[in-house]
Copies of this chain bind each other. A is one copy, B any other.
């Protein structure tokens, strides 16, 4: 029996201006986690949420996380752990979001004050944090309130975990999740995270995969100190020459990774998977727009999606220790550190990948016959994540999308990483669903970040509808 949602939906519409006001209050608190001077605002944002949660009858705890590792005089903002409902006959669903935001200054190029939510004539709600991630976080609260207003029983017990350091590496969160897996989170039967975006602007999606990221450094050193290229050019073997020649062997212009053994680790494309891409709402035109150029490797939608989602990529990010300022400086840098990363996919293994990278880099350097010294290492590694989109958590969400938006959702993966996804999956052992509210044009980390009014209001309906469907979805 399909859940009765009309009353809930009507209340969301009726309360929409209150929900926009609530988002406005949240956006007005500049909870920039990367800026130590803004830390009181981040904490103020936590207390604002605490108040809103209590007002709708949730149980709330603010969990301190201790000091910030790279700035030990600074307290980390608390993690908000909240619970709404304790009915043993209901399913318990855990949701995650974050209440901190990226930095923003009007002078960066914003058309409006970044910390004043401004609704324009096209219904775009402009403001830092509107889509990332204050809109989705408040979405859960708004869904609860609309149920109360409609007099409809809330369909699940809802556990909420909202952190305040997502934009600065989620400091302290992993340890808390692991510690609480069998405590606060123990009843969770499935996890839902609303902190990513539709692939385009028109069609909702459910996200079931993320690439991992292994980040490497190659250090080449020789002389004891930087040298003058007039005096030593032609005399000394130059670390920058060696590094450049090694970096140039990693990947070609079309993104083909040159390191033997990487491609062999990648899960083969199945016939089943082949069919998945055609229906996905994605065009090369949209991609060219977001690139601001037509410099894509492929002109083919399917190849492009596969390259982003299910094949590894290698990017060279830069060089530390070389001359990097504008102008001209005739230095021979004594020690240079090249940085590159590989986005990883099933079934690549971190250790095996590291081993292949280290071996290849050492071989390429050895070919140079240089007297300089090489060090290659991984600065950090993070695994890929793929969930089963056939899990009842996903099929419930798909039904909610159809109910709210009238279309079947796209099943998408993302090229980037959301490490907390994997942490929740591993700590709880439960299926994790990424259920985005905003669209691809929201500009989460850019100037003029926005959330479309439609995505916010229908998104609140979607989150609520998801909880109704997931409450009754049969386990396979």
Contact = CB atoms under 8 A, between A and B. Distances in A.
Interface of A: 211, 213, 215, 222-225, 227-238, 240-242, 244-245, 247-248, 251-255, 287, 291-298, 304, 307-308, 311-320, 322-333, 339, 341, 343, 368-372, 379-380, 414-417, 445
A228 B295 CA distance: 15
B341 A330 contact: yes
B231 A253 contact: no
B248 A230 contact: no
Given A237-B254, A324-B324, A333-B318, A232 B291 contact: yes
Contact of A229 (B242, B287, B341): B341
Contacts of A330: 213, 215, 315, 317, 341
Given A211-B230, A255-B234, A294-B371, A324 B315 contact: no
A297 B237 contact: yes
A339 B324 CA distance: 9
A234 B317 contact: no
A318 to B, nearest CB: 3
Contact of A253 (B298, B308, B317, B369): B369
Contacts of A255: 233-235, 237-238, 241
A298 to B, nearest CB: 8
A253 B235 contact: no
A325 B320 contact: yes
A230 B322 contact: no
Nearest to A229: B315
A222 B307 contact: no
Copies of this protein, total = 2
A316 B244 contact: yes
A250 to B, nearest CB: 8
B320 A319 contact: no
Contacts of A242: 253
Nearest to A234: B313
Contacts of A415: 230-235
Contacts of A229: 213, 313, 315, 317, 341, 343, 416
Given A234-B313, A315-B332, 5 more contacts: A229-B416, A235-B255, A240-B317, A247-B248, A319-B322
CB-based closest 3 A-B pairs: A224-B292, A230-B416, A318-B322
A332 B194 CA distance: 26
Contact of A237 (B296, B329, B414): B296
Contact of A295 (B237, B318, B326, B341): B237
Nearest to A337: B326
A297 B371 CA distance: 8
Contacts of A247: 244, 248
Which of A222, A255, A294, A328 gathers most chain B CB within 10 Å? A328
